[in-house]
Amino acid sequence: MTGLLHIPTGLDLSAVAVGALGGAVTATRRAASEGIDVIGVMVIGIATGLGGSMLRDVALARTPAALRGDGYLLTAMAAAGIGMMFAHLLVRAATLIALTDAAALGLYLVLGITKAQLAGLSPTGAVLVGILACTGGGVLRDLLLGDPVALVRIGSWYVTAALGAAGVFLLCQPHLELTIATIATVLTAFALRAAALRWAWFSPAAGRRLPRRVSVRR
């Protein structure tokens, strides 16, 4: 690989906006019942929009891109504000937001993997950084809302789609141009995530429930 994949700034900011919008809508819908104030909604929205990229850059010991310019934070703030004001309307577009997020999933997975590879990480380490970039915003949202982290719960194939797409990227990368490998990865992530949403595919439970108390005889 001769260089780092370049994502147009507009597309990068669009993904930030989608994440912040979704986070703010989720927080606003629960604000009245859980006592979340305006600042809280904004914080949750911004954390959801910027969390993945910031955690990725921190893992690579780099200054987060979101802190090197005003565009990222301003975009996240604007999207969070829109999500808060129009949550009652945007909730009807939940499917559209989910599909847009599915499209961004593979793209930011590739960006995370390539950045990690250029930093000298192994393939497994690079995939881990890519998964972190894809899921970090959602993890921060769940933590701030006091929810069980969806990343480690039975869910609709978010991480599974990312892992499948990561496998496609690692297989295609040595043999195809980076742009073609990226397109294949994005399409794979989108197809798996969209199919999971359409047919309600869920990851399996971890096994039989263990007894609450285990007696130990001496």
Q: Which pLDDT score is estimated for 130? A: 93
Amino acid (1-letter code) at residue 18:
V
Q: How confident is the model at residue 19 (pLDDT cuts 50, 70, 90)?
A: confident
Query: For the segment 31-78, what is each residue's pLDDT rounded down to a tens digit?
Result: 989 999 999 999 999 999 999 989 999 999 999 988 888 999 999 999
Q: Which pLDDT score is estimated for 79? A: 94
Q: Which pLDDT score is estimated for 87? A: 87
Q: How many CB atoms lie within 10 A of CB 102?
A: 22
> Residue 124, exposed/middle/buried by CB under 10 A (0-12, 13-18, 19+)?
exposed
Helix (H) / strand (E) element for 12: namely helix 9-29
CA–CA dist 196, 70 (Å, integer): 36
CA–CA dist 7, 12 (Å, integer): 6
CA–CA dist 50, 95 (Å, integer): 21
> Which range has the worst mean pLDDT, 63-67, 100-104, 194-198?
100-104
pLDDT at 215 over 90: no
pLDDT at 3 over 70: no
Q: How many CB atoms lie within 10 A of CB 194?
A: 17
C-alpha distances out from residue 151 to 37, 96, 130, 139, 206, Å: 26, 21, 14, 7, 14
- CA 218, distance to chain mean position in Å, is 48
- The model carries a pTM of 0.80
